[in-house]
Amino acid sequence: MVTRWIMAIAGLLCAGLVRAEQAPTVRGLFEAAWSRAECNQHIEQALNNAHYHELGAGYSLGMVLCQLQARTEAHILFLVAPRTGGRPQLLRFEAWIDRKFQPTDLLTMAKYHPATKTISSHQSYGSSEICGAAGEWTWNGVELKMTGYWDKPDCKDNREFDRSDGYRIFPPRM
C-alpha cells in the first residue's frame, strides 16, 4: 500500500518535471525557415515587427518580413491557432518552380485581403511586369488552401502578365 503511494507521488513529481521543460522560443521556430529562405532581415527585428490579421474563431495570420530588395519584399507566414495556446505554426506554401509545384517558406509581395480572407502573392521575372507568377490562398476556417496559381514565363512576349485563364496553372483549365 505504501509502495503504491510512493510510486504515485514519484509519478506526479516526474510528470511535473516533464511539463516544466522550457518551451521552444518563437525565434527557434523561425530559424530553420529563415536559413532556408536566405532572409536578409535581422530575425529579432523582423519578429518584433510582425503584422497580424484576424481570421476568425481565434485564428490569426502573422506575416514576418524576410527579404527586402529594391523592388520586392518577401514574407514568412505563420498561423496562431486556438489549439496551440498562442504558439505559432509556420506555414509552407507551394510555388511553381522548374515547371512543378515545390514547397516554399516565403511568399513574394504577399498581401492579405480581409474581405475575402485571401492571401495573394506575385513575383515578376526579370525587370518588367511582362512575365511572372502569382498565387492565391483562401482561408477555409481551418487552413489556407491554394485557390489559384498563374505563370507566364515568356518575357519576350509583350503581352502583360495577368491572372487570366491563359496563364492559369491551378486549378487546371478544363
Average pLDDT rounded to a whole number, residues 98-122: 96
Q: What are the tens digits of pLDDT across the range 6-16?
A: 343 344 333 33
Kind and range of the H or E element at 111?
strand 111-113
Mean pLDDT of 146-167: 88
User: Looking at the domain that runs over 25-170, which CATH code has it been given?
Assistant: 2.40.128
Share of residues in the chain with pLDDT > 90 (%): 60
pLDDT bin (cut points 50, 70, 90) of residue 25 is: low
Give the per-residue pLDDT at 163: 86
Tens of pLDDT, residue by residue over 49-72, are: 999 999 999 999 999 999 999 889
Least confident range from 38-42, 93-97, 128-132: namely: 128-132
- pLDDT over 90 (residue 127): no
Virtual CA dihedral for 79, 84, 86, 92, nearest 10 degrees? -20
81/140 Cα distance (integer angstroms): 13
Residue, of 155 and 94, whose pLDDT is higher? 94
47 has pLDDT over 50 = yes
The pLDDT value recorded for residue 101 is 96
Domain boundaries, the chain: 25-170
CA–CA dist 121, 133 (Å, integer)? 8
State mean pLDDT over 124-151.
Answer: 91
Contacts of 142 (CB under 8 A, 6+ apart): none
